[in-house]
Amino acid sequence: MLSCSLLFVIYRDLLINTKMAINLLKNPNGDDEMLFWELTENGGNEWRVEEMPGDCGHEFGNGAVTKYFCTSFELCLKSQEIDLVAEGYNPEDLDNQPPVTIEDWYCGRTDCGCMYRLTVCLRDENKEVLQEYKVEPVTLDPDTDDCSWRQVTNTFYDYGPGLRYVSFEHGGRDTKYWNGWFGVRVTGSSVIVDL
């Protein structure tokens, strides 16, 4: 018969391992407006949350995602910093360099071009960068490009011991400087540590 303390350890480990497979970004689709996001650049008419598919927009393909974040005519960037230890990760497990997978989705409108960018950094306890993934500005022109939803994904490997934080920043703007929210749209963002 298993002792109570052994059952507790098994139960605790099961809960931790189950928890670790979840998206660590909070409010990835705008369901809670701008809650949990730091608006690092909030230009033009500022960030806004809209319902899918939006004016001159595109269907997302996942019925569970009903909203997106929309940018304006000047640069709009938003970020989250994830404290992995505060989220319940064991520093020793993090030092074993588990894969960290990020995902983001972006699209443009059918009537106005847009620019998108993304930067994700793995950081140590001093917030020094261990490894970075960057999408240089991508421009979508509805006259020449398919502006429907596009997926960006990357998995970090071999970044060295010491991972404690993940910083995630994305956004963009429109390319015609139109008043309103004609810039890039983002949703479906995620950060998952594979333990």
Nearest to 169 by CA among 76, 74, 43, 80: 80
- pLDDT beneath 50: ranges in the chain: 9, 12
Structural domain tally of the chain? Answer: 1
Nearest to 105 by CA among 141, 62, 167: 62
The reply to whether 2 falls in a domain is: no
Q: Give pLDDT, residue 153.
A: 98
CA distance 60 to 141: 19
Q: Give pLDDT, residue 59.
A: 93
Q: Give pLDDT, residue 2.
A: 55
Q: Give pLDDT, residue 91.
A: 98
The reply to whether 94 falls in a domain is: yes
The pTM of the full predicted model, rounded to 2 decimals, is 0.88
Classify 147 as helix, strand or coil: coil
The reply to whether 129 falls in a domain is: yes
Q: Domain holding 182: CATH number?
A: 2.60.120.260
The reply to whether 10 falls in a domain is: no
β-pair partners for 115: 139, 173
Give residue for tokens 């018969």: 1
Domain interval for residue 57: 23-193
Q: Give pLDDT, residue 90.
A: 97
The reply to whether 131 falls in a domain is: yes
Q: Give pLDDT, residue 122.
A: 99
Using a 10 angstrom Cβ sphere, with 0-12 exposed, 13-18 middle and 19 or more buried, the burial of residue 195 is middle
Q: Give pLDDT, residue 17.
A: 54
Q: Give pLDDT, residue 4.
A: 53
